[in-house]
Chain A
Amino acid sequence: MRLDISESEISQLLEIIYRRYHYDFRQYATASLKRRLQQALTHFQCATLRQLQDRLLKDESAFPRLLEYLTVQVSDLFRDPEFFLAVRQQVVPLLATYPSLKIWVAGCSTGEEAYSYAILLAEEGLLERSRIYATDINDQSLRKAQKGVYALDRMKQFTMNHRGAGGHGSLSDHYHAVQDSAVMSPTLKQRITFADHSLATDSIFSEVQLVSCRNVLIYFDRTLQDRALGLFNDALCRRGFLCLGTKESVRFSAYAQRFQELSGEQRIYRRVD
């Protein structure tokens, strides 16, 4: 049985995390946050959130470990191949009309999504004029993303994904195998800027033609989703593109009218004006 924790204990803990560590989880969806806090209690061998709270206040090294529970680091190269195929077929021809391109991957985790865009743009001849900003709140993941080193045994699945995404040539053109690792090519890395940025507390930093924020909004409540969508709306150029995860949509948000579907199925939208 799971340890029982109440909503009020959770909000108290989140308040302390916000004040002490300036990470704002106060408007995250509660059901999954609760599950992950229950797992964290087991990891920290605490019986109550109260104990965990005391630990956080006394021991600076506890927070980074808790952050691994509070944020979910799961990603793949060309996750949802049909989505990247739709980007290639429906979005790339329109992106090609811009003299220079800026793309924002929000909630990039360990970097796979950003590298997928870089590979796709390289294959479509657009990478040289592109800059990809890839942001997240998890520093440890950002460091991994910056290194661009993935376990070689994941490449089999990624190669299938890449093919499903309409990839030209071979995925192995874009990485070097070193022992049991795949190291992403420097030409991709040069085009990506990884940076710390929170959709909950930070503001926009550049005008971009495309925002990709996949499987991040599912962790937010509707108010925070609206904040993030507001940032995307403000960062996008006129008629800019917004890509969400396959089960996410702008439909239940305050910004429903601001975005029009380009591919309903693949959750690709354009800013209305």
Chain B
Amino acid sequence: MAAAVVIGGSAGALDVLRMIVRELPQSLACPVVIVIHLPPHPSGLAELLGADTSLTVKQVEDKEPIVGGTIYIAPPSYHLLMESRDSFALSVDPPVHFSRPSIDVLFETASDVYRAGLVGVLLSGASEDGAAGLHEIHAAGGTTIVQSPLSAEVAIMPAAALALFEPTYVWSPNEIASGLTQLLSRRSS
């Protein structure tokens, strides 16, 4: 079973993200952590997604303990890092690919913590942020899912990942929503 799921996206990712969140099982045991590029203003993303699921959805605070079955969202204007299996950390380091929060920063630090137990999902977006991070998840033996460029509102982000390596799955939004749920309920071998 997956130990954690990380999801990144930008332009055109919100609808897909909502589909994914709606499908997440009640019995979700692992944390799901999301970076979506946002304008630097307090956003209602946690509330928006919270309305789609009965799982807890929250914006991360510095050194917040990580609890399974919770959906975590990076706060605007901070990088979100995984410090260990027990806690998150935030930083105001300079933007990466013009973005803070950056998907690469989350993916790379999560990969360091969870290695092969990590599932990384990269959605529609108009930036190359996330591609290198997803590549690292792949190299560490984790499972990688890329939204198919054809199905993406903006294909730059998924295409950048596909240019680097061959992910485990290239899926449409529907396939991601149902496939992820299956991955999450699959027993570990």
A interface residues, Cβ below 8 angstroms from B:
1-2, 29-32, 34-36, 72, 74, 215, 217-219, 221-222, 225, 245-249, 251-252
Q: Tell me the nearest residue of chain A to B89, going by C-beta.
A: A29
In contact, B93 and A74 (Cβ under 8 angstroms):
yes
Interface residues of B in 108-160 (CB under 8 A from A): 108-109, 112, 132, 135-136, 139
Report the nearest B residue to A73, measured CB to CB.
B94
B-side interface residues, number (CB < 8 Å): 27
The 8 Å CB contact of B92, one of A29, A31, A72, A225, is A72
CB atoms of B91 and A32 under 8 A apart: yes
Option from A1, A72, A247 in Cβ contact (under 8 Å) with B139: A1
CA distance A222 to B65 in the complex (A): 11
Do B90 and A34 have beta carbons less than 8 Å apart?
no
A36 touches B62 (CB 8 A): no
Q: Which of B62, B92, B109 contacts A74 (CB 8 A)?
A: B92
Identify A247's interface contact among B87, B90, B132, CB under 8 A. Answer: B90
- Docked-complex contact A218 and B135, CB < 8 angstroms: no
Nearest-Cβ distance from residue A227 to partner chain B, whole angstroms? 14
* B83: interface (CB < 8 Å): yes
A1 touches B136 (CB 8 A): yes
Q: Which residues of B contact A34 (CB under 8 A)?
A: 109, 112
Q: Which residues of A contact B135 (CB under 8 A)?
A: 1
A1-B139, A219-B91 known; A31+B62 contact, CB < 8 A:
no
- Residue B23 at the chain A interface, CB threshold 8 Å: no
Nearest first, the 6 A-B pairs at minimum CB distance are A31-B81, A31-B109, A29-B89, A32-B91, A218-B62, A218-B90
Report B66-114 residues with CB < 8 Å from chain A CB: 75, 78-79, 81-83, 87, 89-94, 105, 108-109, 112
